[in-house]
């Protein structure tokens, strides 16, 4: 089987690009390019990942400046053709600012940067990113953010529910959505969203930091393996 050609977008201030490249290479055997933010075409790729970090120093709002980079026009063209995109953490924030997904991120209710393992429940396994999980699987994956408090209007939340766009929710270890298991104040415990067509997944937890047992958990590994299977 030919290797999947993946691109990991690097903005000034991105800092999870190398971990993401390693996870894609080691778990899914992808052939990965780090793609600089000035790139104008993404046509050669089967998968694009927007990794975590602090693009443009999170100035103004997380993701607000990255959204206007040249590569984002190429990304729009790429997604118009239903290309697969995985946005992780800052990648989620950028996709929201670019209005490729609805809603916005606010400061965590604790006002603190939170870096620790959390539990998320898989709400959908019929996306290219989650097809190797079972619905209801509970994953231990770390988060690392200050602005992960998802907000959408009442109408937005209803639309997300209606189009089944919530892919991950923060839960306790037993898979229950409780106030206490919500680390950042996200409405409806939302930790990950996809587009109605399912080709874009954005998530705050970092699967690349949970892709090998040696990291404390390999619960995120199946995200990369699912993508591999979906593209096979």
Question: Binding residues for other proteins, per CB under 8 A?
Answer: 60-61, 64-65, 68, 96-97, 102-104, 106-111, 149, 151-153, 185
Supply the minimum distance, in Å, between the C-beta of residue 65 and other proteins.
8
Which value, to the nearest 10 degrees, does the dihedral of the CA atoms of residues 201, 62, 138, 190 take? -80
Supply the minimum distance, in Å, between the C-beta of residue 124 and other proteins.
23
For every residue of 50-93, DSSP letters joined together read: E--B-GGGG-SSTTTTGGGSHHHHHHHHHHHTT-EEEEETHHHH
Supply the minimum distance, in Å, between the C-beta of residue 110 and other proteins.
8
Which of 48, 65 has the CB closer to other proteins? 65
Which of 30, 104 has the CB closer to other proteins? 104
Q: Give the residue numbers annotated as catalytic, written as ranges.
A: 89, 206, 208
Give the chain's count of helices (H) and strands (E).
5, 11
Supply the minimum distance, in Å, between the C-beta of residue 38 and other proteins.
19
Which of 108, 226 has the CB closer to other proteins? 108
Which of 110, 163 has the CB closer to other proteins? 110
């Amino acid at each position: 089987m030919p290797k999947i050609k993946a691109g990991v977008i690097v903005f000034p201030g991105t800092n999870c690009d190398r971990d993401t490249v390693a996870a894609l290479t080691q778990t899914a055997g992808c052939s990965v390019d780090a793609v600089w933010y000035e790139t104008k075409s993404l046509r050669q790729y089967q998968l694009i990942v927007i990794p975590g970090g602090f693009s443009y120093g999170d100035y103004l709002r997380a993701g607000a400046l990255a959204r206007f980079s040249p590569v984002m026009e190429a990304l729009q063209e790429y997604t118009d053709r239903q290309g697969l995109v995985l946005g992780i953490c800052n990648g989620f924030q950028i996709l929201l600012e670019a209005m490729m997904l609805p809603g916005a991120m606010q400061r965590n209710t604790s006002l603190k940067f939170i870096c620790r393992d959390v539990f998320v429940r898989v709400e959908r396994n019929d996306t290219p990113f989650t097809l190797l999980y079972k619905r209801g699987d509970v994953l231990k994956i770390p988060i690392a953010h200050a602005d992960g408090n998802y907000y959408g209007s009442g109408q937005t939340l209803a639309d997300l529910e209606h189009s089944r766009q919530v892919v991950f929710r923060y839960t306790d270890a037993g898979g229950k959505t409780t106030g206490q298991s919500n680390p950042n104040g996200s409405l409806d415990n939302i930790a990950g969203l996809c587009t109605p067509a399912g080709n874009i997944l954005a998530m705050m937890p970092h699967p690349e930091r949970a892709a090998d047992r040696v990291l404390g958990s390999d619960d995120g590994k199946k995200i990369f393996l699912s993508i591999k299977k979906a593209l096979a």
